[in-house]
Amino acid sequence: MADSKNNNVNNISADEIGDNHVGTSIDTPLRPDAFDMTPQEKIESIQKDFYNIMQTLGLDMTDDSLKGTPKRVAKMFVNEIFRGLLPENKPGASTFENKYGYSRMLVEKNITVNSTCEHHFLPIVGNAHVAYISTGRVIGLSKINRIVDYYSRRPQVQERMAMQIVSELQEALNSEDVAVIIEAKHMCVTTRGINDINSSTVTAEFGGKFKEKETRDEFLRYLGDNLMPYFG
């Protein structure tokens, strides 16, 4: 399935891919040398590059309000909004034996998503809803939030983000029975291009039992009626 998708996108231009918000890979596209530089070295390099961007735009870089901006942006990129690119920031996904025998669905709703569109480097802001059914292991609730945050804090495509979160939880829980739905607004749609401030995007990834209508419908009922028309 992934190979077929990659073949299709190879037939269109980079501009078309970006304008239509099409992803080209299930994994975040990273070069083999992505981690050769230390975070501090990356900050120093980005600081210089962003200074040149601001200078090119015609801004007066001697102004007190602007001269510290390149360093602030560089630190923000590396340490905050793109911290999910650094493997050392990946949260530990420790699980525990399900000793109390809870066998029903667990749903963590309205997890904040703060991500960045990889096509225009503008924010993606919304919520993720995560569910799983234990097959012998359970995971701490805060770990689910941390996994969502880790995969959102990088240049992203929303469909890929949902798939990465599901895959990470499936591996941690040793279970296919995981589902994620993400609802988000894309600033590259609302503040540029079509400038449609009312639109939002809903994506989902269903694994294991969640591919069955009965289980999927139970998950959707926990989330409210607004999502039923999409996936019911």
Digit-coded pLDDT (tens) for 139-175: 999 999 999 999 999 999 999 999 999 999 999 999 9
Statement to judge: residues 130 and 82 lie in one domain: no
Q: One of 156, 158, 168, 183 is an active-site residue; which one?
A: 158
Residues in the chain: 232
Torsion angle of the four alpha carbons 158, 106, 150, 197, in this order, in degrees rounded to the nearest 10? 40
**Residues 105 and 218: beta-carbon distance below 8 Å:** yes
Of the residues 58, 89, 120, the one at which a domain ends = 89
**pLDDT surpassing 50 at residue 4:** no
Give the pLDDT score at 224: 86
**Beta bridge mates, 232:** none
Statement to judge: residues 84 and 99 lie in one domain: no
129 an active-site residue? no
**pLDDT surpassing 80 at residue 17:** no
Give the pLDDT score at 26: 85
Of the residues 74, 89, 104, the one at which a domain ends = 89
Statement to judge: residues 44 and 144 lie in one domain: no
Statement to judge: residues 38 and 150 lie in one domain: no
d(CA 214, CA 230): 15
**Residues 135 and 175: beta-carbon distance below 8 Å:** yes
**Residues 201 and 20: beta-carbon distance below 8 Å:** no
CATH of the domain at 71: 1.10.286.10
Confidence class of residue 8 from pLDDT cuts 50, 70 and 90? low
Q: One of 156, 183, 188, 205 is an active-site residue; which one?
A: 188
88 an active-site residue? no
- Domain tally, the chain: 2
Statement to judge: residues 71 and 102 lie in one domain: no
Q: For the full predicted model, state whether its pTM sits above 0.85.
A: yes
Statement to judge: residues 156 and 60 lie in one domain: no
Q: One of 21, 47, 120, 164 is an active-site residue; which one?
A: 120
Statement to judge: residues 27 and 113 lie in one domain: no
158 an active-site residue? yes
Q: One of 119, 164, 168, 183 is an active-site residue; which one?
A: 119
d(CA 123, CA 125): 6
Give the pLDDT score at 3: 45
Higher pLDDT, 64 or 21: 64
Q: One of 117, 156, 183, 205 is an active-site residue; which one?
A: 117
Give the pLDDT score at 73: 98
**pLDDT surpassing 60 at residue 76:** yes
Report the percentage of the chain scoring pLDDT > 70. 87
188 an active-site residue? yes
User: Residue 187: which residues within 8 A CB-CB, separation 6 or more?
Assistant: 117, 122, 123, 124, 125
Statement to judge: residues 124 and 10 lie in one domain: no
**pLDDT surpassing 50 at residue 99:** yes
d(CA 206, CA 178): 6
* For residues 103-118, average pLDDT: 96
Query: In terms of residue numbers, what domain contains 60?
Result: 2-89
Of the residues 30, 58, 89, the one at which a domain ends = 89
d(CA 223, CA 194): 29
**pLDDT surpassing 90 at residue 122:** yes
